[in-house]
Every structure is written in structure tokens, then in C-alpha cells.
């Protein structure tokens, strides 16, 4: 007998009230006044709240969160290298368990309505691929409740730490879907070597690329050009993302226009999470120019930052606030970044709220989509493949 769910009285994307019937994990019918097909059907009342597709956490670091552990007093120095060295030492000293910690964050994400996650996971000569194995164990454990994509991420540098590239290849062979990178110029001091290495690895194994690029202004912009060149040369259009790309919010208009054309031509997606003290990419401008945008929490409660709560509606709020958005249609762009935009980047299949889509859905309070973002109240219901996984902001899975 098929497993059925009837979700009564919801407003898909803030439209008219209707009912949604889910059969074996997929939306089979959307229409008003539906009756339960049999007595085994689970019937829930959405009380005229908004129904959106599952939220997408497009950029985080599951393997390094300190969620649930003692409060961490931040003492690392201000540079990227200070923070990386501090983290390596701290995680080693506390015997950090990436598998257990990742599971805590994933469960928090689920309670907030996230159904898809792209996580960068450290690979370095200190920990080898142990974090990749840890997060893969978490992924296997929670596979029915969240879809997860793993980025092999050379957090401690790629070429400056010989042996890292070989470990990255091991991670890819183990099943990492995406090859990461980090500041080829300022950190690795060899942009050509760094980019050639990660592009060759991704190309050889048919993987995507998602590179952390914090480098500012022209320093970052030149690397965007180099990323675009390699995307084109290896026919990887649509398979490359740049995370942060602060430089797009810092260069002059003429240079920005040139970069936008390169991003569009090669369909390179941009991830921004609008961190508090940085200039960041101009969201509306990029959206208008047809650039794919997505967002994420980045690190949550780790040795890098005390912030983060895994709430992607709150992330949309932050993106809106920092961009100075007031109009509903502007705020809706940020909601799109944490739903459709992220889903397209992480390769979510059958995503959305229409018949035939996988029933990854969130019931959220608000008269309009913009109000749902601004209020960001606890999610009434969260469904993964039609299964209820959280109610009123609380996860309903076993511990």
C-alpha cells in the first residue's frame, strides 16, 4: 500500500489556500478540498500558512562545528593563517569527533527546514581524510532526512602543504562530489598552480568545483578571470561555483561588468552569506544579470566564529538586511537564494512545489513570502520525501 500524506490548508509560495497530497514521497496532487484516499493516510492541517520547498544550506562546514560542546572563547589572531593554525591545534587538543559534531548540526538544520546541504569538509596533511570519512558516516546515517553534497576542501592550503592534493584525490575517489579550493593567490601564493590542480582533479573525475575566494578587489577579480578561463577551457560551464567572491562588491563598475559577463558566459554560480564586516557581491545586480546565486551559513559555532544557528530563513533575512532591501520583491530574491537558487547548485532533483516534485516541503508562518523571511518564526512542519521530520521548530527524529 502506498504511503500517503494529505496536507490540508496550505498556501504554496503564498498563493491561494489549497491541499497537497503526497504519495510515496512525491507530490501527487495539489487541489482544494482533497479527501484522504484511505484510512492509513496521515492528515495534517497547515492552518493557511505558507508552503515553500525545503531550504538549502549551500555552504557550511559540518565537520568543524562545536555545537553542543562547552563555550569556546575566541582567541585566534586576525589573519587567515592565525585562524587556521589555531583551529588545527584546538581540534587536535579536544579530540574533536567530526562524525558526531556533523550529526548535531545536520539535526539542527533539519529542525529549521533544511532538506539539502552542501558542506565543505577539511582535507589536510594533519587530519588526512578523517573528516571526510566522519561526515560521510553522518550522511549515511541521516540519508533519509537530508540530501548532502560533500566538497573536499583544502582548508590549510593546497600547494603550500605537499601531499594535500593526493589526499584530495583520495577524498574524491571516496565519493566527494565537489572539489574545493581556497584563495589561490594570497594563501597558496600560486594561483596558476592551485587552479590548474583543482580543475584537473575535478575534470578527471567528472566533479564540480566550489572555491573559497576571500581575496579582495583586483586581487580577487583577477582570480575570477582565471577561474572563468579554466571553466571554459575544460568545458565545465555550469559546474563551477565561487564562494564569497567579496571582490565583486569591491571593484569599479567597468571591471564588475566584465566579471559579470565572464560569470554569465560560463554559468558560474556565486555563493554569498553577507558576513558582518565585509563588502559582498551586489545581489540584485547579479540576479538581474542572470547570475545564479545561492547562500549558506558558512561555519556554525566553530573556532572561526561564535555565530550561526543553521536557519536559512534567518540567512535570507541577513542577506536582505545587509543589502538594504525593503521591497517584497527584493526580499523574495534572498528567499530564492536559499531555496531554488541553492537547489540548482547542489543538484536537487525534482525540487519545488508542484505535482511530480519530491515532497521536501516546509510550512512557515507569514502573510507573504517577505513576511515569512522577516518573521522567521519556527517552522510549523518540515517534510523530507513526504516524511514529517520536524514540528514547531523541533526535530521529530530519534536521537
Comparing CB distances to Zn ion, the nearer of 19 and 298 is: 298
272 versus 334: smaller Cβ distance to Zn ion: 272
Span interacting with Zn ion, options 202-210, 292-300, 347-355, 360-368, rule CB under 5 A: 292-300
State whether residue 219 is helix, strand or coil.
helix
Q: What's the min distance (Å) between Cβ of 83 and Zn ion?
A: 12
Nearest CA to 201 among 241, 239, 172, 158? 172
User: To the nearest whole angstrom, how small is the minimum distance from the Cβ of residue 259 to Zn ion?
Assistant: 21
Rounded (5°) CA angle 328-335-331: 25
Residue 353 · residue 53 · CB < 8 Å: yes
Closer of 83 and 207 to Zn ion (Cβ)? 83
Applying CB under 5 A, the span of 23-31, 192-200, 290-298, 351-359 interacting with Zn ion comes to 290-298
β-bridge partners, 270: 242, 293
Stretch that binds Zn ion, among 11-19, 141-149, 291-299, 351-359 (CB under 5 A): 291-299
Q: Considering the complex, what minimum distance in angstroms separates the CB of residue 341 from Zn ion?
A: 17
The nearest distance, CB 273 to Zn ion, in angstroms, is: 8
SS3 content of the chain, % helix, strand, coil (to 5): 35, 25, 40
Instruction: Specify the residue, 29 or 90, whose C-beta has the smaller distance to Zn ion.
Output: 90
Cell of 302: 566553530
> Which DSSP letter does residue 341 get?
I
Residues in the chain: 399
CB closer to Zn ion, 183 vs 336: 183
Contact between 57 and Zn ion (CB under 5 A)? no
**Interface segment toward Zn ion; rule CB under 5 A; list 16-24, 223-231, 277-285, 296-304:** 296-304
Binding residues for Zn ion, rule CB under 5 A, total: 1
User: 173 CB contacts (<8 Å, ≥6 apart)?
Assistant: 205
Work out which of 63, 298, 311, 336 binds Zn ion, going by CB under 5 A.
298
CB-nearer residue toward Zn ion: 169 or 298: 298
DSSP annotation string for 359-387: --EEEE--SSHHHHHHH-PPPSEEEETTE
Distances (CA, A) of 154 to 131, 180, 300: 12, 7, 18
- Site residues, Zn ion (CB under 5 A): 298
Amino acid at each position: 500500500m502506498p504511503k500517503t500524506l494529505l496536507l490540508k490548508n496550505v498556501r504554496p509560495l503564498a498563493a491561494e489556500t489549497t491541499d497537497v497530497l503526497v504519495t510515496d514521497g512525491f507530490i501527487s496532487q495539489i487541489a482544494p478540498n482533497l479527501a484522504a484516499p484511505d484510512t492509513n493516510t496521515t492528515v495534517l492541517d497547515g492552518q493557511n500558512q505558507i508552503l515553500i520547498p525545503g531550504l538549502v544550506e549551500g555552504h557550511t562546514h559540518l565537520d568543524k562545528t562545536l555545537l553542543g560542546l562547552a563555550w569556546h572563547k575566541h582567541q585566534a589572531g586576525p589573519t587567515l593563517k592565525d585562524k587556521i593554525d589555531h583551529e588545527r591545534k584546538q581540534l587536535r587538543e579536544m579530540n574533536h569527533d567530526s562524525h558526531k559534531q556533523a550529526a548535531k548540526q545536520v539535526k539542527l538544520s533539519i529542525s529549521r527546514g533544511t532538506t539539502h546541504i552542501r558542506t565543505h569538509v577539511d582535507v589536510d596533511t594533519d587530519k588526512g581524510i578523517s573528516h571526510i570519512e566522519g561526515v560521510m558516516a553522518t550522511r549515511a546515517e541521516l540519508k533519509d532526512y537530508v540530501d548532502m553534497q560533500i566538497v573536499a576542501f583544502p582548508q590549510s592550503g593546497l600547494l603550500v602543504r605537499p601531499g594535500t592534493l593526493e589526499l584530495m584525490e583520495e577524498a574524491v575517489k571516496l565519493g566527494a562530489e565537489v572539489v574545493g579550493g581556497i584563495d589561490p593567490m594570497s594563501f597558496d601564493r600560486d594561483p596558476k598552480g592551485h587552479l590548474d590542480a583543482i580543475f584537473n582533479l575535478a575534470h578527471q573525475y567528472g566533479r564540480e568545483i566550489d572555491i573559497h575566494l576571500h581575496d579582495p578587489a583586483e586581487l580577487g577579480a583577477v582570480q575570477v578571470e582565471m577561474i572563468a578561463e579554466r571553466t571554459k577551457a575544460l568545458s565545465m560551464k555550469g559546474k563551477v561555483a565561487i564562494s564569497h567572491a567579496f571582490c565583486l562588491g569591491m571593484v569599479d563598475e567597468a571591471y564588475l561588468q566584465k566579471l559579470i559577463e565572464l560569470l554569465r558566459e560560463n554559468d558560474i554560480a556565486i555563493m554569498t552569506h553577507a558576513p558582518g564586516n565585509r563588502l559582498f557581491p551586489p545581489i540584485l545586480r547579479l540576479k538581474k544579470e542572470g547570475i545564479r546565486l545561492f547562500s549558506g551559513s558558512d561555519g556554525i559555532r566553530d573556532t572561526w566564529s561564535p555565530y550561526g544557528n543553521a536557519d536559512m530563513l534567518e540567512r535570507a533575512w541577513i542577506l536582505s538586511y545587509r543589502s538594504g532591501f525593503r521591497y517584497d520583491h527584493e526580499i523574495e530574491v534572498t528567499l530564492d537564494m536559499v531555496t531554488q537558487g541553492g537547489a540548482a547548485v547542489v543538484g536537487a532533483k525534482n525540487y519545488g512545489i508542484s505535482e511530480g516534485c519530491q515532497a521536501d516541503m516546509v510550512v512557515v508562518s507569514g502573510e507573504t513570502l517577505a513576511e515569512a523571511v522577516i518573521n522567521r518564526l519556527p517552522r510549523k512542519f518540515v517534510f523530507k520525501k513526504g516524511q514529517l521530520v520536524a514540528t514547531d521548530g523541533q526535530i521529530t527524529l530519534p536521537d
